[in-house]
């Protein structure tokens, strides 16, 4: 015979699972995750909003910048079984790095970027994958996956409504042999491993997460991705080696993350007024200490300040004077 505490636990888990199933069914209605931002809700900039069980955090902002941290969570609840397939290691200190960038943006502008963070360990959920691989059939993990992506859509919609555009940065960590950040625009290494002229003629920019920006500003697609004034250039001239950039225009045969589910769904393809990229950071010198995270945050904000001014006409330093 089961003890009373075990029966209560059993029924509580059943109730939680049933509630999660209802949330999941509502979120899943209509099929695939929409790629266009939904109408924004009123949220207070700088205030954190949590999903059920506090597995997802949405830190509201009032800048056109949206950061996501899908692999920096540390929570390992027993209610969600471990994933059996795929990568299950966390990206150490990437959530702390995202918060350092937000704080630096606030110090420079008086305003805050949006942040969507998964607090679940990657062994429980991988929000940077489609739902089948991400949650592997676990109802609570699936509910959290929907919460995470709904929050991204809400943040992007709020940014577009306020500023007319949104810029998404999906922040990750890598352990590749070369100590350089990898800028993923949803273009694979083999697509980048060609001359500027060949790349411009290929039409591949339409598949990238800067397609909306390129359609608006025109000019050479290769220059926008890796030429003077590109994000890679702005990082590398400030002491952070980056690919693609003028100094490292192509990944070559080295490991390279091109950008995953988050940026492809929320900033690629049919996402008008939304651009972005996945930033893969190495650990030693960027993520390993609070001092290095603060340094990288300063460099990132300096790069974004120039990029947003030159490409979008948005003055980050003058944001405090914006209405």
So what's the pLDDT on residue 76?
98
In this predicted structure, the answer to whether residue 20 has a pLDDT above a threshold of 60 is: no
pLDDT, tens digit (0-9, with 9 covering 90-100), for 273-297: 999 999 999 999 999 999 999 999 9
In this predicted structure, the answer to whether residue 247 has a pLDDT above a threshold of 80 is: yes
In this predicted structure, the answer to whether residue 261 has a pLDDT above a threshold of 90 is: yes
pLDDT, tens digit (0-9, with 9 covering 90-100), for 61-74: 999 999 999 999 99
The gap from C-alpha 298 to its chain's centroid, in whole angstroms, comes to: 19
In a domain, 23, yes or no: no
> What is the DSSP secondary structure assignment for residue 320, as one 8-state letter?
G
103 vs 269, higher pLDDT? 103
In a domain, 1, yes or no: no
So what's the pLDDT on residue 75?
98
So what's the pLDDT on residue 24?
39
So what's the pLDDT on residue 320?
46
Rounded CA separation 120/127 (Å):
10
Q: Are residues 218 and 270 in contact, defined by beta-carbon separation less than 8 angstroms?
A: no
In a domain, 194, yes or no: yes
Helices (H), 193-289: 196-202, 211-217, 221-226, 231-236, 261-266
Q: Are residues 205 and 283 in contact, defined by beta-carbon separation less than 8 angstroms?
A: no
Rounded CA separation 111/318 (Å):
10
So what's the pLDDT on residue 323?
37
pLDDT-derived band at 234, boundaries 50, 70, 90? very high
In a domain, 26, yes or no: no
Average the pLDDT over 195-219 and give the result. Answer: 97
> What is the DSSP secondary structure assignment for residue 88, as one 8-state letter?
-
Token couple for 267: 């900033």
| Length, in residues, of the chain | 323
Average the pLDDT over 205-228 and give the result. Answer: 97
Q: Return the minimum-mean-pLDDT range out of 15-19, 55-59, 96-100.
A: 15-19
Q: Are residues 233 and 223 in contact, defined by beta-carbon separation less than 8 angstroms?
A: no
So what's the pLDDT on residue 29?
39
DSSP of 11-62: HHHHHHHHHHHHHHHHHHTTSSPPSSPPPPPP--TT-EEE-GGG-EEEE--S
CA angle 209, 210, 212 (to 5 degrees): 105
So what's the pLDDT on residue 269?
77
DSSP of 117-154: EE-B-TTT--TTS-HHHHHTT-HHHHHHHHHHHHHHHH
For the chain, the domain total comes to 1
Give, in order, the Cα–Cα distances in Å from 2 to each of 7, 8, 10, 78, 264.
6, 10, 10, 20, 49
**CATH code (residue 63):** 3.40.630.100
Q: Are residues 201 and 218 in contact, defined by beta-carbon separation less than 8 angstroms?
A: no
In this predicted structure, the answer to whether residue 256 has a pLDDT above a threshold of 80 is: yes
Cβ neighbours for 99, distance < 8 A, ≥ 6 positions apart = 115
In this predicted structure, the answer to whether residue 214 has a pLDDT above a threshold of 80 is: yes
pLDDT, tens digit (0-9, with 9 covering 90-100), for 71-110: 999 999 999 999 999 999 999 999 999 999 999 999 999 9
In a domain, 15, yes or no: no
In a domain, 268, yes or no: yes
Rounded CA separation 237/257 (Å):
22
In a domain, 82, yes or no: yes
In a domain, 168, yes or no: yes
The gap from C-alpha 249 to its chain's centroid, in whole angstroms, comes to: 23
Domain of residue 110, residue span: 43-313
pLDDT-derived band at 41, boundaries 50, 70, 90? low
Stretch (H or E) spanning 223 = helix 221-226
């Amino acid at each position: 015979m089961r003890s009373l505490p075990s029966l209560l636990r059993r029924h509580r888990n059943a109730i939680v699972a049933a509630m999660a199933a209802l949330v999941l069914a509502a979120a899943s209605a209509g099929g695939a995750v929409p790629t266009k931002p939904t109408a924004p809700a009123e949220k207070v900039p700088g205030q954190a909003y949590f999903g059920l069980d506090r597995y997802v955090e949405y830190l509201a902002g009032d800048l056109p910048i949206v950061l996501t941290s899908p692999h920096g969570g540390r929570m390992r609840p027993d209610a969600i079984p471990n994933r059996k397939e795929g990568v299950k290691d966390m990206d150490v200190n990437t959530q702390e790095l995202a918060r350092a960038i937000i704080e630096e943006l606030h110090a420079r502008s008086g305003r805050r970027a949006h942040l969507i963070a998964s607090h679940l360990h990657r062994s429980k959920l991988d929000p940077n994958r489609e739902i089948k691989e991400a949650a592997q059939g676990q109802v609570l993990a699936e509910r959290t996956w929907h919460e995470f992506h709904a929050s991204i859509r809400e943040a992007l919609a709020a940014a577009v409504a306020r500023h007319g555009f949104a810029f998404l940065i999906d922040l990750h960590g890598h352990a590749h042999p070369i100590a350089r950040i990898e800028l993923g625009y949803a273009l694979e290494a083999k697509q980048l491993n060609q001359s500027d002229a060949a790349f411009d003629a290929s039409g591949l920019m339409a598949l990238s997460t800067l397609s909306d920006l390129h359609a608006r500003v025109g000019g050479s697609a290769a220059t926008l991705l890796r030429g003077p004034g590109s994000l890679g250039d702005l990082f590398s001239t400030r002491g952070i080696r980056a690919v693609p950039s003028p100094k490292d225009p192509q990944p070559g045969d080295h490991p390279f993350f091109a950008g995953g589910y988050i940026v492809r769904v929320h900033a690629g393809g049919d996402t008008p007024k939304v651009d972005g990229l996945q930033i893969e950071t190495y650990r030693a010198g960027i993520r390993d200490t609070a001092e290095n995270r603060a340094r990288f945050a300063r460099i990132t904000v300096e790069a974004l300040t120039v990029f947003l001014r030159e490409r979008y006409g948005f003055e980050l330093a003058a944001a405090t004077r914006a209405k």
